[in-house]
Amino acid sequence: MQVTERASENDVLRASRRRLLMDTVGIAVSGGGFGLVYGIAAHEAGLSVLEVAAMSTLVLSGGAQFAALGYIAAGAPWAAIVLLTAFINSRHLLYGAALGPYLSDRSAALRAAMAHGLTDESFAISLSHFRRIGRADVAGYGMAALFGEVPWITFSIVGATLAANILDPARFGLDVIFPAAMAGLAVGLITGKRELAAAISGAIVGVVVGLGWDPAAGIVAGGLVGPFVGLLIPASEPSV
């Protein structure tokens, strides 16, 4: 009886892992594409290939990294960049809390190592996987994290390398990649009235402060005011 139960559990695990791998294929492709755009945009913002490689490896957060490029290009102080990107990534605290019950019996060292690969994609895919099998699967989590990390890091380096060897980026239209990427990310993040209010208020404050005082201060002010305005807007009721 126990042998049969173990065999059934193994079948469920293998089936769930196959689904996890299928889910990660699209993540890997999109991660590579965004990584390439990020690498080119990072070079345009003044980062070297080595700095791009280090940032993608250590920070490993597309949204925060793209946001940081805007602050860097505008000459914002490093303390403000760290504060604002930490605010952007604060959602990972909730991700960790959601995965925590599944990993409560694992060592602190292992959980810390897993935290480095925690992204929006690896969280969503892994949590679904854990729920399907009813327990944690460190190997499955590792696969989800790896398929997200490797394309992002690799192609961001490729993008920065290619951009560094193009003498006149404007000639190929690469000078518009950064603003176009940021605009695309901003539009994609507007999913309701809260996000819309945050985007509009942040943009207005950023422009006013930037024109009246300093562009870097405008970016910082907009980045701080926008999210707080969004939090003041009541959340939309979920549709039934």
pLDDT digits (tens, 9 = 90+) for 105-140: 999 999 999 999 998 888 888 999 999 999 999 999
pLDDT digits (tens, 9 = 90+) for 167-187: 555 555 555 555 555 555 555
Does residue 235 fall inside a structural domain?
no
Does residue 234 fall inside a structural domain?
no
223/165 Cα distance (integer angstroms) = 33
30/3 Cα distance (integer angstroms) = 41
Please give the tally of structural domains in the chain.
Answer: 1
Does residue 204 fall inside a structural domain?
no
Does residue 205 fall inside a structural domain?
no
Taking the alpha carbons at both ends of the chain, their separation in whole angstroms is 43
Does residue 92 fall inside a structural domain?
yes
**Helix 91-99 to helix 120-133 angle, to the nearest 10 degrees?**
20
Supply the range of the domain harboring residue 140: 2-189
Does residue 201 fall inside a structural domain?
no
Name the phi and psi angles at 92, rounded to 5. -65, -20
Residues present in the chain in total: 240
| Whole-prediction pTM | 0.68
Q: Which residue has the higher pLDDT, 217 or 182?
A: 217
Does residue 225 fall inside a structural domain?
no
Does residue 170 fall inside a structural domain?
yes
Rounded to the nearest angstrom, the gap between the alpha carbon of residue 172 and the centroid of all alpha carbons in its chain is 27
116/124 Cα distance (integer angstroms) = 15
